């Protein structure tokens, strides 16, 4: 078998995305508002034969949407995807997708799941069977043909997912976080086997695009890395991957690249290309400066989790390497980044050259007892989060010290999609409750001040109000 | 599974100490005898039914109360139920698929379904019978079809709703897989839409059959103005036995009906439920998956396996190839230039739009026509009658409330007791299911003898009759709710000394509340529907009736008084829809939000 020679490929362009811009469009939401939230802005990329490209980005950068656009499942609002120069108009047989959730049909056996795509091609039964069995054998599922997915472990299920995608012999394999639902050991095992098949050219696939949260995974697998930024999703930078020989963990080049990527990811407001150019001119290809943030976006983290991280950093002398922290806590980027982002937003810590460094307030908070912790958190939250400050002010002024959530939700909807607006409000509620800035009554959807003398003056009215709302 | 089929007979053989091949031969013999007698009975029934269908129209067939006539009557009724169910299934798949996949159609179809669901079965009677008997004036076909359609109206709607909801809530990833692999529409329908909704469909089919049995008497014997119709069947038999006051015939008829229901339960529904287990979407396995002896027998049958291998698979393969050829993949690369393609797309979209407009216009005209005719009819209803109808609706509403209240009061303690004790729930659940599936209408005649002696006569008796028809929905749901209470919660309550009324108030009642509401919603709809057969009853050759909307509708249908029938039907449908919107849906949302144990 021919070995795939090097990672430097100048193969033909298989897939090309040109200036993809996508606006969020919920079900039945067309034309309801003038400006739908922007998910992706002006993303262009190319995938060439022989390469494995990783797509890295924080949550909210539209990675999944981009992948679905490339697969032909979603039609972008603007821009075009071309496969071999032909515009893409819906799913094509030359792209296959492996899902994070496996997406197996629970009522079909392993064999039937793998055969599914071949049936759609209209192949006769014997040919179908032959091809499916060959791929099942190759992917290490031999003996499980008649099993149902629920009888399999997560790793075996994802093997079925790979077998199903490979059975139709796609040119381009799209991988949507295929290893992130697996435990660490299983993921490593499956990753290695996939790479073996790929290096030895045992599968007809000519290129792969891997969406991931895991920096180590990206560095150890990819020939090229695309870094997406969030709000709205845009291409921040493009980094050349390591040559195959240098992808051993703990090798200097490997550690260096991982650190670089952490630094890049933890400084979302900096110009990615500029940062990289200063640091490592050889790696950088191109990138876009980040568009200005339209509205303050809160990372969805629980305050207690963030404070936990601060305490950990404090225990190491107020400064810790993010790559190490991530590995040690087994947090992937989509879990670690929001925590860092939150600490940064509240000015409790700031990322510096791939490290997380506590600020003075951050150090105080990490050492404080529960009450003091809450006081400091409240102080920072009120100083830094515009919406929390607004709610606190409104509550102080409002009659009865009660405000309807709808007012703020309406505001958020102008900047976010329906689901994200609600998620933002939920985070505001979590933070506000933790900081004891207000209480929130879920069923009525009302913010109220913490009970003190003022509200106790009219308890009957407040109670009556609640009651009325409850039966509404 | 194929492997298991081959292995199983031999395993059994070794256990009994016989040689494998002898047992295998015996199994073949058993299969042939069982299968052969089943086919023989089926063919005999079909031949008899066909000869009756083709015979000249006889509106009223003389029913014999002889026990010897019972098997044939039971066969006729079963065949009608089966045909009606087949029709309902077909309707469900078509209607549900279109409603769930076509956004424009959905806007019309779903409210229409909501309305159809709230129309009582007897209101369909005139239209169905008159049209079909007029269409086949020479033979019994029209009459039989009318009966089948009446049963259909008591079976179809809940199945359609269930299927529609399943298709609407398909997991997004699986839908994406279908698109990515470019499954043909028939493959997608079969492998995704149908497969994902099978469990819901099976359970709703069981409910539909219960509904069909409930209205069996009403759909085999009815009168319309001065014409009366009677078809040979179990329902007519029971009705005649009740009218004559013949206890022996009544008992025999009831036993036959119960036997038939139990037979269907063991030989059809239980195997289906056990088989449908594999279509569960959640991946975690249930502690005790449903199990069926009949299904095990079928799975181990060598004859069926042989048939499947030599007949089923090749036939299916050929059919699949044909379907695949009929539905070519979309977006096959064609050698048209971009401009041409754009032109092509535009003309096709115009064609589609034109077709939609045409269909909508036609439907609109039809709707206007129906409204016009209906309006004309309604003009004949004097204001005094309207007043009476509204009062009657009030009376029936009070009766449904009373029935629901009594049902709730006794089912909560009993259901919770059963549900909380694993031993009792295992023992009692099959029994309760059988008891619940006996149609209350068949018991009416027996009960009436007792109830007429009580004060209040039919006015109160009607409540009990409604109760009989609807309490089971509540009981089932309460049992399910009690079984779903997490052990941790009960143990925590016990640890903190929460007992007695406090335990009910803080643990049990909130936990079963969502289930209770679900049960009550179904029961409420059922109670309204049951009012038409419980407020006006034929008994001992006389007609007993009480004041209520159900009685008004039944009487109007019987007398051929179409204006009043239409007015009553509209009133009932409006009330049911309104109650659903204003009361039940809100309660349901409250239950979902606050009391759902995730």
Chain A neighbors of B179, CB-CB under 8 A: 73, 90-91
d(CA A322, CA A317): 14
The two tokens of residue A417 are: 């999609």
Q: How confident is the model at residue B15 (pLDDT cuts 50, 70, 90)?
A: very low
ipTM of the predicted assembly exceeds 0.85: no
User: Are A39 and A62 contacting, i.e. CB atoms less than 8 angstroms apart?
Assistant: yes
Counted residue by residue, chain B has a size of 598
Note down pLDDT in tens along chain A; length 472 residues.
Answer: 344 444 445 578 999 999 999 987 654 444 444 456 788 888 999 999 999 999 998 877 888 899 999 999 888 989 999 998 889 888 888 899 999 989 999 899 999 999 998 988 888 888 999 999 999 999 989 999 999 998 899 899 999 999 999 998 999 999 999 998 888 899 999 999 999 999 998 888 999 999 998 888 999 999 999 998 887 888 888 888 888 888 888 888 888 888 888 888 887 766 666 666 666 544 454 555 555 555 788 889 999 999 999 999 999 988 998 888 888 887 878 888 889 989 998 999 988 878 899 999 999 999 988 889 999 999 999 998 988 999 999 998 888 888 898 889 888 888 787 888 889 999 999 999 999 989 998 878 889 887 654 444 444 444 444 444 443 3
Does any domain span residue B106?
A: yes
- A contact set with B (CB within 8 A): 68, 71-73, 86, 89-93, 95-97, 99, 101, 103, 105-108, 116-117, 119-120, 122, 124-125, 146, 148-150, 164, 168, 443
Range of the domain at B262: 55-215+228-291+383-594
Give the model's pLDDT for residue A193.
92
Residue A219 or B104, more confident? A219
Name which of B13, B167, B144, B5 is nearest B82 in CA terms.
B144
Q: Please state whether A219 falls in left (phi above 0), alpha (psi between -120 and 50) or beta.
A: alpha
The residues with which A240 forms a beta bridge, in sequence order, are A224
Domain edge (last residue) among A224, A245, A278: A278
**Chain CA centroid to CA B334, Å:** 47
Radius of gyration of chain B (CA): 27
d(CA A416, CA A232): 10
Mutate one of A28, A68, A120, A146 to test the B interface: name it (highest B CB count within 10 A): A120
CATH number at residue A362: 1.10.10.10
CATH number at residue A65: 3.40.50.300
**Domain total of chain A:** 3
Percentage helix, strand, coil for chain B under 3-state DSSP, each rounded to 5: 80, 5, 15
The two tokens of residue B394 are: 């009030």
Partner residue facing A89 (CB), from B173, B179, B331: B331
Q: Are residues A372 and A403 in the same domain?
A: no
Q: Are residues A116 and A224 in the same domain?
A: yes
Q: Are residues A326 and A210 in the same domain?
A: no
Task: Please indicate whether, in this complex, the C-beta atoms of A119 and B183 are within 8 angstroms of each other.
Answer: yes
**Domain total of chain B:** 1
Work out the minimum CA distance from B560 to partner chain A, whole angstroms.
44
- Chain A and chain B share a number of CB contacts under 8 A equal to 82
User: Are A149 and A157 contacting, i.e. CB atoms less than 8 angstroms apart?
Assistant: yes
Rounded to two decimals, the pTM is 0.81
Does any domain span residue A143?
A: yes
Q: Are residues A85 and A215 in the same domain?
A: yes
Partner residue facing B180 (CB), from A91, A122, A149: A91
Q: Are residues A187 and A308 in the same domain?
A: no
**With 0-12 CB in 10 A as exposed, 13-18 as middle and 19+ as buried, what is B17?**
exposed
Q: Are residues A370 and A256 in the same domain?
A: no
The two tokens of residue A411 are: 């505001």
- B contact set with A (CB within 8 A): 1-3, 171, 173-174, 176-177, 179-184, 187, 191-192, 195, 278-281, 283-285, 317, 320-321, 324-325, 329-331, 333, 593-594
The stretches of B169-281 forming alpha helices (DSSP H) are 172-180, 185-188, 195-214, 216-220, 234-244, 247-264, 270-276
DSSP-derived 3-state class of residue A315 = helix
* Chain B residue with minimum CA distance to A157: B283
Name which of B239, B224, B207, B227 is nearest B73 in CA terms.
B239
Lowest mean pLDDT among A400-409, B88-97, B397-406: A400-409
Q: What is the DSSP string of B497-519?
A: T--HHHHIIIIIHHHHHHHHHHH
* Chain B residue with minimum CA distance to A114: B181
Q: In the predicted model, is pLDDT for residue B412 greater than 90?
A: yes
Task: Please indicate whether, in this complex, the C-beta atoms of A146 and B1 are within 8 angstroms of each other.
Answer: yes
The stretches of B102-194 forming alpha helices (DSSP H) are 103-117, 125-135, 141-153, 156-168, 172-180, 185-188
Task: Please indicate whether, in this complex, the C-beta atoms of A107 and B278 are within 8 angstroms of each other.
Answer: yes
Q: Are residues A310 and A436 in the same domain?
A: no
CATH number at residue B467: 1.10.3720.10
Q: Are residues A84 and A59 in the same domain?
A: yes
What's phi and psi for A121, nearest 5 deg?
-75, -10
Does any domain span residue B356?
A: no
Does any domain span residue A8?
A: no
Does any domain span residue B333?
A: no
Does any domain span residue B307?
A: no
d(CA A238, CA A271): 12
Does any domain span residue B518?
A: yes
Give the model's pLDDT for residue A451.
62
Q: Are residues A361 and A430 in the same domain?
A: no
d(CA B483, CA B479): 6
User: Are A29 and A22 contacting, i.e. CB atoms less than 8 angstroms apart?
Assistant: no
Name which of B325, B292, B281, B371 is nearest B570 in CA terms.
B371
Per residue in B378-389, pLDDT (tens digit) is 888 888 889 999
Range of the domain at A86: 13-23+36-278
Domain edge (last residue) among A223, A251, A278: A278
Q: CA dihedral defined by A178, A184, A190, A192, rounded to 10 degrees?
A: 110
Chain B neighbors of A106, CB-CB under 8 A: 278-281, 283
Give the model's pLDDT for residue A3.
44
* Chain B residue with minimum CA distance to A118: B181
Task: Please indicate whether, in this complex, the C-beta atoms of A90 and B329 are within 8 angstroms of each other.
Answer: no
d(CA A275, CA A290): 12
Partner residue facing B184 (CB), from A90, A99, A120: A120
Does any domain span residue A31?
A: no
Name which of A383, A252, A261, A272 is nearest A326 in CA terms.
A261
Q: Are residues A186 and A272 in the same domain?
A: yes
Q: Are residues A393 and A317 in the same domain?
A: no
């Amino acid at each position: 078998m021919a070995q795939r020679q090097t990672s430097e490929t100048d193969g033909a362009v298989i897939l090309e995305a040109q200036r993809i811009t996508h606006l969020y469009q919920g079900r039945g939401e067309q034309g309801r508002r003038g400006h739908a939230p922007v998910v992706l802005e002006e993303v262009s990329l190319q995938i060439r034969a022989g390469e494995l490209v990783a797509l890295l980005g924080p949550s909210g950068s539209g990675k999944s949407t981009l992948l679905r656009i490339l697969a032909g499942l979603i039609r972008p609002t603007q821009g075009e995807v071309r496969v071999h120069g032909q515009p893409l108009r819906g799913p094509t047989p030359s792209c296959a997708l492996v899902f994070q959730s496996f997406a197996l049909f629970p009522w079909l056996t392993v064999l039937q799941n793998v055969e599914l795509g071949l049936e759609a091609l209209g192949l006769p039964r014997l040919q179908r069977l032959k091809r499916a069995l060959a791929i099942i054998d190759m992917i290490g599922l031999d003996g499980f043909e008649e099993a149902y997915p629920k009888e399999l472990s997560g790793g075996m299920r994802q093997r079925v997912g790979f077998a199903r995608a490979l059975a139709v012999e796609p040119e381009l394999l799209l991988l949507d976080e295929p290893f992130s639902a697996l435990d660490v050991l299983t993921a490593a095992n499956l990753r290695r086997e996939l790479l073996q098949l790929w290096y030895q050219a045992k599968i007809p696939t000519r290129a792969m695009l891997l969406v991931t949260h895991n920096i180590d995974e990206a560095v150890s697998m990819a020939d090229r890395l695309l870094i997406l930024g969030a709000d709205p999703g845009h291409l921040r930078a493009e980094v050349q991957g390591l040559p195959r020989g240098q992808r051993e963990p703990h090798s200097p080049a490997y550690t260096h690249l991982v650190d670089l990527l952490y630094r890049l990811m933890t400084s979302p407001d900096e110009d990615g290309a500029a940062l990289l150019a200063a640091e490592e001119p050889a790696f950088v290809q191109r990138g876009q400066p980040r568009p200005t943030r339209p509205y303050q976006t809160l990372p969805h983290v629980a305050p207690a989790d963030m404070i936990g991280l601060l305490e950990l950093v404090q225990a190491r002398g107020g400064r810790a390497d993010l790559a190490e922290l991530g590995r040690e806590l087994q947090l992937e980027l989509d879990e670690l980044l929001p925590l860092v982002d939150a600490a940064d937003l509240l000015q409790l810590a700031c990322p510096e050259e791939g490290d997380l460094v506590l600020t003075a307030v951050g150090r105080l908070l990490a050492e404080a007892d529960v009450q003091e912790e809450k006081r400091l958190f409240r102080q920072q939250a009120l100083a830094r989060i515009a919406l929390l400050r607004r709610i606190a002010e409104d509550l102080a002024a409002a009659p009865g010290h009660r405000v309807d959530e709808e007012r703020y939700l309406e505001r958020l909807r102008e900047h976010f999609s329906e689901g994200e607006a609600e998620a933002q409000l939920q985070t505001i509620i979590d933070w506000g409750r933790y900081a004891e800035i207000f209480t929130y009554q879920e069923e009525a959807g009302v913010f109220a001040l913490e009970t003190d003398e003022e509200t106790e003056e009219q308890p009957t009215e407040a109670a009556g109000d609640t009651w009325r709302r409850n039966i509404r | 599974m194929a492997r298991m089929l081959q292995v199983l007979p031999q395993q059994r053989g070794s256990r009994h100490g016989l040689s494998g091949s002898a047992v295998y031969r015996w199994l073949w013999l058993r299969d042939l005898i069982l299968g052969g007698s089943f086919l023989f009975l089926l063919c005999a029934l079909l031949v008899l039914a066909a000869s009756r269908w083709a015979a000249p129209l006889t509106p009223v067939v003389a029913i014999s109360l002889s026990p010897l006539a019972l098997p044939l009557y039971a066969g006729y009724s079963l065949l009608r139920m089966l045909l009606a169910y087949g029709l309902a299934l077909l309707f469900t798949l078509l209607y549900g698929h279109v409603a769930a996949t076509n956004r424009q159609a959905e806007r019309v179809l779903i409210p229409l379904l909501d309305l159809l669901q709230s129309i009582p079965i007897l209101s369909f009677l005139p239209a169905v019978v008159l049209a079909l008997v007029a269409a086949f004036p020479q033979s019994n076909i029209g009459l039989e079809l009318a009966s089948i359609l009446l049963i259909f109206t008591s079976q179809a709607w809940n199945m359609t709703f269930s299927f529609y909801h399943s298709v609407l809530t398909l997991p997004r990833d699986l839908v994406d897989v279908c698109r990515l692999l470019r499954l043909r529409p028939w493959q997608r329908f079969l492998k995704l839409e149908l497969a994902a909704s099978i469990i819901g469909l099976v359970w709703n089919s069981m409910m539909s059959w219960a509904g069909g049995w409930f209205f069996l008497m009403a759909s085999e014997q009815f009168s319309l103005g001065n014409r009366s119709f009677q078809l040979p069947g179990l329902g007519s038999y029971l009705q005649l036995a009740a009218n004559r006051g013949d206890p022996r015939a009544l008992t025999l008829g009831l036993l036959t009906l119960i036997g038939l229901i139990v037979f269907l339960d063991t030989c059809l529904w239980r195997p289906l439920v056990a088989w449908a287990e594999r279509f569960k979407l959640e991946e975690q396995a249930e502690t005790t998956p449903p199990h069926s002896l009949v299904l095990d027998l079928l799975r181990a049958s060598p004859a069926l396996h042989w048939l499947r291998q030599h007949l089923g698979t090749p036939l299916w393969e050929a059919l699949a190839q044909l379907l695949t050829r009929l539905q070519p993949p979309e977006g096959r690369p064609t050698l048209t230039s971009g401009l041409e393609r754009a032109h092509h797309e535009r003309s096709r979209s115009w064609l589609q739009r034109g077709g939609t407009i045409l269909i909508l216009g036609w439907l609109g005209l039809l709707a206007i026509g129906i409204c016009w005719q209906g309006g004309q009819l309604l003009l004949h209803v004097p204001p005094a009658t309207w007043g009476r109808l509204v009062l009657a609706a009030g009376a029936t509403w009070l009766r449904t409330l009373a029935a629901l209240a009594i049902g709730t009061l006794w089912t909560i303690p009993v259901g919770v007791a059963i549900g909380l004790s694993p031993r009792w729930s295992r023992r009692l659940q099959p029994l309760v299911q059988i008891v619940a599936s006996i149609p209350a209408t068949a018991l009416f005649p027996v009960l009436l003898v007792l109830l007429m002696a009580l004060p209040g006569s039919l006015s109160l008796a009607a409540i009990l009759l409604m109760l009989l028809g609807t309490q089971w929905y509540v009981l089932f749901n309460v049992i399910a709710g009690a079984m779903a209470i997490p052990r941790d919660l009960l143990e925590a309550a016990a640890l903190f000394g929460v007992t007695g009324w406090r335990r009910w108030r803080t643990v049990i009642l909130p936990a079963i509340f969502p289930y209770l509401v679900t049960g009550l919603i179904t029961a409420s709809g059922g109670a309204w529907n049951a009012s038409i057969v419980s407020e006006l009853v034929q008994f001992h050759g006389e007609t007993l009736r009480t004041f209520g909307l159900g009685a008004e509708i039944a009487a109007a249908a019987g007398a051929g008084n179409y204006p009043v029938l239409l007015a009553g039907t509209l009133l009932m449908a409006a009330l049911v829809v309104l109650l659903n919107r204003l009361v039940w849906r809100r309660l349901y949302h409250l239950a979902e939000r606050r009391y759902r144990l995730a």
